[in-house]
Structure 1
Amino acid sequence: MTQSVVVQIGQCGNQIGCRFWDLALQEHAHFNQWGRYDDATGTFFRNVDSLSWNGVSCADNGRIQQLKARAVLLDMEEGVISEILKGPLRELFDTTQLLTGVSGAGNNWAVGHLTYGSSYRDKIVDQLRKAAEQCSCLQSFFLIHSMGGGTGSGLGTRVLRLLQDEFPEVCRIVIPVCPSADDDVIVSPYNSTLAMRELTENADCVLLVENQALVDILNMEHASCGGQLRKGNIISAVGRLTGSEKPFDAMNDIVANMLLNLTSSARFEGSLNMDLNEIAMNLVPFPRLNYLIPSLSPVSTLARVSEPTRRLDKLFSDVFSKGHHLIKADPKRSLYLGCALMLRGNVHMSDLRRNIERLKSVVPFVSWNPEGWKTSICSVPPIGHTRSVLALANTTAIKSTFMEMRVRFHKLYRKKAHLHHYLQVEGMEESLFSEAATSLDSLIEEYHHLDAGTGKLIPVARLKVAQ
């Protein structure tokens, strides 16, 4: 049995992470009604009681305290973690798994990465080691954080570097949430670009998520069900969402459901299981091109009320259509370096082969990897559905996200706007901005060369940003 540790960093990371734990407990309770601690449960939970647990959901007052999440929770403000400790998940974490500050990182990557990253380094390493020692066969770390804030972008990428140093052989899977263009943090382009360099250099694979794409998915579900959306077991009427109205709980649900599908093969049995290490091994042919686009169908907690079961072929088509991607990217006219299809529920190998053959005409792969598919089938479906499909695509379509990030960065950097807030932090130099921008330029150029028709990666000259 292999285990994974989830590292939740900042407000965004902790809120998404806790929604994942909530839904994961509900899944295990639903399909393990005898409440026995087994290999499936042990993947992300450890048992601190010799007796079996009763499989209740986190909302119940049963013996949930016997389970502890394999998690580390970090935030430089106390608010979110304090709320967690007052809520229904309070017994799922012990104090050795939590680390909070007081004043926060002030939406400043340098404060999170350099100031807090240095002062809390030993405590963070100690918590990571304790979490690892409680695993008999540690397989991977999952990091969840935002890109726009100071703690998420700064401390999040510092923790990623610590994992690279302390656990170089353990797979590092990062789920960063990118801000939208109308983000209320004016310096988020700085934070995102500085964080990007660390993700490119230190992560094994990065499953990028964009806030605007999540809002678009909510609007799509709203349009398809006449204003009735279902969040968990609660049905509520909502209007169409505008840019300023972001229902973060519902957006977090989408990301948490993506994580449930991503980890389903590790948590449950199936006819074709996928080792989590195989994702990076099969989908990341070049170390720097480690960014994967996740897409999901159905988006479980936002399912249409009384929705009929979708045809299996429709699920496959959905995950290659624009509206189901968790970033704002158009898959048309892009080139695929690799693609994983992770299926749950009543799906046969013949169904999988038939749909892959059908999709070949619309999913072009690079010439040196024409059969770049990686597949898994987990027999346990999501709660409320008979089956689901998660696609993880390494595709050149992602460069549009990076190009937009570059435009937003230079809009500020050309005027040196707000730069002094960063430069007054000890250890922060302006050269780090130019190096981060150069890294992003190089990444975009590498995708451009792959898209140029040859599918070959051509070495890119390192461009310098004018000071």
Structure 2
Amino acid sequence: MLFFYTRSPTDIQRSYRAQSSLKKCGKDPAWIPIVTFNQSAILTNVLTQGCRLVKYHVECPFTDSGIISTMQMTNMDNDHIPKYMGQCGNQIGCRFWDLALREHAAVNKSGIYDESLGSFFRNVDSRYDDPADIPLGSGRGKIKSLKARAVLVDMEEGVVSEAMKGPLKEVFDFQQLITDVSGSGNNWATGHKMYGVQYHEKLSDIIRRTAEFCDCLQCFFVMHSMGGGTGSGVGTYTLNLLADEYPDVYRFVTAVYPSADDDVITSPYNSVLAMRELTDKADCVLPIENQSLVDIVNKIGQAVPSAKMGKRVFAASGVKSGSALTAGEGGLSKPSDERPFDSMNNIVANLLLNLTSSARFEGSLNVDLNEITMNLVPFPRLHYLVASQTPLYALADVNLPPRRLDQMFSDAFSRDHQLIKADPKHSLYLACALMVRGNVEISDVRRNIERLKPNLKFIHWNQEGWKTGLCSVPPVGQPYSLLTLANNTCVHNSFSDLRDRFNRLYKRKAHVHHYTHVDGMEITDFSESLESLNSLVQEYVTLEQHMNKPAQSEPRLQVLS
């Protein structure tokens, strides 16, 4: 999935005033893009320059627009264009849009195309062959026809075709689809070296064309799996494309890792080959493990009374499919429409909703995505953030009692709520972000931080490494929620397990010939990817050796006589 974060036409018009203000700050305003309301296309270099403009907004208090580098949190004037890669990415994407529509419908009951909707959807006049975009304007216009800011990519037609025939079909634009018929055959080389090269121009064009509906490109958000061929291969190829064509734009990745008993034998190869690209090209990665999702879903199924769960069926990977995590009344999908992985995909979709809540709704202390990168990534390669969220049942058809606020914070740091198989409380924190939604005061957050700090180990040079965000709008059906993003050394355990599974295959060169016969794929790609993973694991292990080192007591400033 790929997000573009942008500013609104209103803020771009403010760049006229920004020119004179920049002169006062001693900055050169000559390169500032001036864009009018009716401008239909914005060139790539202008979009990129727009991000540099925002950085000056942070440094110089010359504007009243409240813009911060990646997302404008105060005014919520930013656009999101998701890009789904492969079967996993597209299935999660469908759940994401279903839940996003439900969340916006709960807040926006008057059918107004406001700033909140504008961050995810275009408002178009569909009476024409080439639908015309209706500008946000004052944020009080009526909704005509909503089109998701989304691009769907898969080298098979099944999932995308299903989406275009399902209840969300009117939301997606046929011009923003890329499909093939043969698939990548669970082969990273086929996806990356063959289909990536084959569809390079089309990928580049569709990203550029979709970005032209935005006002100023700010951030990419890529969603794909790691075990398959299209997600890992085409997904990381697209990440390279973004790094080449939009080098100054942040690149966030949510990557779903296969479990140890994955039914794709070559998934360790695909994951390790893809990880080299994520480590080198992404600014921030949110790893999610399939096994953690399975465990969470089954745990929720046990917690929900059977009378409220309705009829249970056993889906793929042993997941019990019930109503606790599936679309219920008020959504676009009916409970009978539930597919095997919907309950797992809902967890990831809610992660994305919580992550972007500050871009869509107001709050007393909203968090910008570039603040996450700035505060949680102390070293360029160590940008893998461990995510957890609570509550994990957030849909209206389950009347479970809400978690007490303090218990919610405790749950977020427990092993059972992590989206990877790890226990961060027994490893070293480099930094941690708390993104809270609902009627929660900053004093509540501070109290819980002080309560939890004695049980958490932070690296000695960043003992106060907390980042806090407050969004006033809670998820549907819950009074509040909490998303934590932690840069924690526990992630190296998952990477070490993946490396071991890779080595068990590679030491016998099993299935390697399926990769090397693809044009452009070399045997050295395996060894170089393994070396990159070894280096990454070692960096985390080296930091973890400082776990018991006392905190630095030196003053930050010293007066020299």
Settle same-fold status: TM greater than 0.5.
yes
Percent identical pairs in the alignment equals: 61
Q: Does 1:89 align with 2:168?
A: yes
Residue 105 and residue 264 in structure 1: after superposition, are their counterparts in 2 closer, same or farther (change >3 A)?
same
Checking the alignment, whether the CA contact within 8 Å between 2:395 and 2:477 is kept in structure 1 is no
1:10 maps to which of 82, 86, 89 = 86
2:410 aligned partner, one-letter code: S
SS at match of 2:451: helix
Q: How far apart are the structure 1 equivalents of 2:548 and 2:513? A: 42
Which sections of structure 2, spanning at least 5 residues, go unmatched? 1-76, 126-133, 137-141, 321-339, 550-561
1:353 aligned partner: 446
1:236 maps to which of 310, 322, 326 = 310
SS at match of 1:300: coil
Q: How far apart are the structure 1 equivalents of 2:268 and 2:354? A: 30
Q: Does 1:140 align with 2:233?
A: no
1:408 aligned partner: 501
1:460 aligned partner: none
Q: How far apart are the structure 1 equivalents of 2:271 and 2:506? A: 13
Residue 401 and residue 38 in structure 1: after superposition, are their counterparts in 2 closer, same or farther (change >3 A)?
same
Residue 156 and residue 227 in structure 1: after superposition, are their counterparts in 2 closer, same or farther (change >3 A)?
farther
Checking the alignment, whether the CA contact within 8 Å between 2:283 and 2:373 is kept in structure 1 is yes
Shift of 1:5: 2.1
Q: How far apart are the structure 1 equivalents of 2:167 and 2:450? A: 46
Checking the alignment, whether the CA contact within 8 Å between 2:458 and 2:547 is kept in structure 1 is no
Q: Which structure has the bigger radius of gyration?
A: 2
2:189 aligned partner, one-letter code: A
Shift of 1:243: 4.5
* Residues 234-255 of structure 1: per-residue CA shift (max 9 Å, x gap): x434378895557411100110
1:32 aligned partner: 108
Checking the alignment, whether the CA contact within 8 Å between 1:294 and 1:391 is kept in structure 2 is yes
Residue 29 and residue 297 in structure 1: after superposition, are their counterparts in 2 closer, same or farther (change >3 A)?
same
Residues 31-70 of structure 1 mapped to structure 2, 5 A cutoff:
31-49=107-125, 50=134, 66-70=145-149
* Residues 243-280 of structure 1: per-residue CA shift (max 9 Å, x gap): 55574111001100111111100110011111122111
Q: How far apart are the structure 2 equivalents of 1:298 and 1:422? A: 42
Shift of 1:305: 3.3
1:200 maps to which of 279, 285, 294 = 279
SS at match of 1:168: coil
For the aligned residues, what is the CA RMSD? 1.9
* Residues 145-184 of structure 1: per-residue CA shift (max 9 Å, x gap): 1100000000000001111111112211111111111111
Q: Does 1:213 align with 2:292?
A: yes
2:355 aligned partner: 262
Shift of 1:65: 6.9
2:428 maps to which of 319, 335, 359 = 335
Q: How far apart are the structure 2 equivalents of 1:205 and 1:327? A: 16
Shift of 1:135: 1.0
1:373 aligned partner: 466
1:250 aligned partner, one-letter code: S
2:106 aligned partner, one-letter code: H
Q: How far apart are the structure 1 equivalents of 2:270 and 2:157? A: 21
Q: How many residues align?
A: 441
Q: Does 1:171 align with 2:272?
A: no
Q: How far apart are the structure 2 equivalents of 1:147 and 1:121? A: 20
Q: How far apart are the structure 2 equivalents of 1:139 and 1:45? A: 16
2:457 aligned partner: 364
Q: How far apart are the structure 2 equivalents of 1:135 and 1:168? A: 18
User: Please, what TM-score do these two structures have when normalized by structure 2?
Assistant: 0.76
1:158 aligned partner: 237
Shift of 1:359: 1.2
1:26 aligned partner, one-letter code: R
